[in-house]
Amino acid sequence: MRISQPPWDTKQSGCFCPHNQLLAGPHEEICVSHCTNCKNADGKPMLPGSTWESNCRICTCNNQTLTEECRPKPLPPTPTCGPGSTLISDCCNHPICVEAICEYQGKKYKAGDTWRDSKSPCEKFHCTTEGTKIEKTVCPLQSCPEELQVWDQDHCCYSCNTTCAVRLFQVTVEDCTSVVTLPTCEGNCRSGSQWLKSASLHLEQKSVCCRVKDFEVRHIDLVCNGSKKTKYTYKHITSCACQHED
């Protein structure tokens, strides 16, 4: 009769520790002299006397009790942030300096950057260490025809061009069917003053008006009183100027 070999005499591959030591746990390759209940944040067995950081705490595996002992991570001094940086708290609620970043419509800006949005021409955006700040421009109340509006470079506010200049207006001549666009002189002029010397000095105020400076003679055809076209001649104003009244 053949006698079978005991199972402990069977040769198998595996991990083995030196004499008087044992594996720290199943599927581990760490050999220890004593069993320990210490584990780090990843669940890895820690040797007695070792120190590690876990969940904002400093932990140590006690050499005698072989258990994990943890204390809060010391609070560092509050740093002084340089230009373009801001103070925030990290995941352990400790103060740290990070670069200040502002985000607007998917684009990122650094502290000190300014930009505009064409859809909001009266707003100017500033990236600061406290976040995005908006500077709004309040336009003065103005009311004038569109052709007299003079817009600023951001197309936010306009002023009214009321200086003396050639303006175009449409007019219908009596009994004529066509609408004619004719130039005229319109706008403000400063009134002038001058000292006159006679028996005594006295100040005389002279009125200044927006008047025709240059013109050219032009011809135009109009249909009037239901008749055929008739040629008319008129002075077409080409420039205006502020002039004293005669």
Instruction: Give the tens place of pLDDT for each residue, 177-195.
Output: 777 888 888 888 876 555 5
Q: Partners of 32 in the beta sheet? A: 22
Q: How are beta strands 165-172 and 179-186 bridged, if at all?
A: antiparallel
Task: Catalogue all structural domains in the chain, each as residue range(s) with its CATH number.
Answer: 15-74 (no CATH), 77-160 (no CATH), 165-244 (2.10.90.10)
Task: State how far the Cα of 129 lies from the Cα of 135, in Å rounded to an integer.
Answer: 16
Reference 51, options 70, 33, 30, 35; nearest CA is: 70
Instruction: Please count the other Cβ atoms lying within 10 Å of the Cβ belonging to residue 166.
Output: 19
Closest to 85 in 3D by CA, of 108, 64, 110, 65: 110
Q: Is it the case that residue 58 has pLDDT exceeding 90? A: yes
Checking if the pLDDT of 1 tops 50, the result is: no
Q: At 27, is the pLDDT very low, low, confident or very high (cuts 50, 70, 90)? A: low
User: b vs e for 209-218, b when ≥16 Cβ sit within 10 Å of the residue's Cβ?
Assistant: bbebeebeee
Confidence band of 66 (pLDDT split at 50, 70, 90):
confident
Position 172 scores a pLDDT of 79
Q: How many CB atoms lie within 10 A of CB 24?
A: 20
C-alpha–C-alpha distance, residues 21 and 13, integer Å: 18
